[in-house]
Structure 1
């Protein structure tokens, strides 16, 4: 029987508590947003299948706790990551200033084989709050920081409104793919549920 090759890509989302990491993941995977804030304990993950060209990929997105008392749990979750997403709240300068700490912490704990070229993506979240009047971190400042760290891709997002979330995660998936540390899963067509038509495209036009 022919088999369809599927590749697992591990993505880690880091950032201060309350910046919207869980909301971004839920908006992307489930197209849902909740106003009920619940702190992540330790780590949690969701998966989503995406397709580029004729290949099927499974994004495994790990949402980690932002509270420092849980950071010691991070080491095991960081290992084997293909891309790291750094999230801050555009209405909180502290969350932006801490991006550097999260990036350094990840590189130390994950120990990627090529730290200088490991793919990061930065998301400035909550651009919808107060019509944008509450923001304290300008897009220019954020882009300058990303440029200084090797031209990290940058997106301004609203998990609540779904603004730029799909586009950001398409970029994240592509960068994870480029890192090359892929784990291949072979799925025989015989276990497909439903019809055996070709999987739908994720709509990535990059």
Structure 2
């Protein structure tokens, strides 16, 4: 019986507290949205299997806390990432202005081998709020920032209504594949303790 092999793609979602990181992840993975806001403590992740060109991939999506007091946890979660998603609220200029800090922090903590070409994707979320009348960050401004950082792909999303969420994560998955080292991982039916003589194959340098 052949072992079940998957290629693991690790995605990190960053952004200020309250911009909708958890909601975006839940909408994509579970097709669910909750109006009840609950701040993420530390970090959490969901997985979803995606298929490209007859190959199956496991997308491991890490949702991290936006509060500054949890940023020291970053190193363990950022390492081994294949793509970083930067999220802001189109109704909050402060959350947009924070994107640069989140991007820089990620590059410092994750230490990717090729920081100049590491794949980022930017999501402008909450486009549904007040039918767009509360919006303070224009699409033009956001796209200009993305262009200045190496033409980062940009999507405007509504986690609540599911607008552009699927399309954004398809782009995220494809960019994760481009980040270089694809890693075949063995997913056993039971968890085995890896002996010290065997190399770890998780890709996580936590």
Query: Would you call these one fold, judging by a TM-score over 0.5?
Result: yes
Deviations 1:102-154 (A, max 9, x none): 00000000000000000000000000000000000000000000000000000
Unaligned runs of 5+ in 1: none
Quickly say closer, same or farther: Cα 1:200–1:115, change in 2 above 3 A. Answer: closer
Mapped to 1, the partners of 2:197 and 2:166 lie a distance apart of 24
Contact 2:14 2:84 in 1 (8 A): yes
Normalised by the size of structure 1, how large is the TM-score? 0.89
Unaligned runs of 5+ in 2: none
Mapped to 1, the partners of 2:201 and 2:42 lie a distance apart of 33
Q: What is the match of residue 51 of structure 1?
A: 51
Distance apart, 1:75 and its partner CA: 1.0
Quickly say closer, same or farther: Cα 1:23–1:188, change in 2 above 3 A. Answer: closer
Distance apart, 1:186 and its partner CA: 3.7
Mapped to 1, the partners of 2:205 and 2:28 lie a distance apart of 17
Matched residue SS, 1:107: helix
Matched residue SS, 2:196: coil
Dislocated runs of 4+, deviation >3 Å: 1-5, 186-206
Contact 2:76 2:205 in 1 (8 A): no
Distance apart, 1:47 and its partner CA: 0.2
Distance apart, 1:170 and its partner CA: 0.2
**RMSD of equivalent CA atoms:** 7.2
Q: How many residues align?
A: 206
Normalised by the size of structure 2, how large is the TM-score? 0.89
Distance apart, 1:180 and its partner CA: 1.9
Distance apart, 1:182 and its partner CA: 2.5
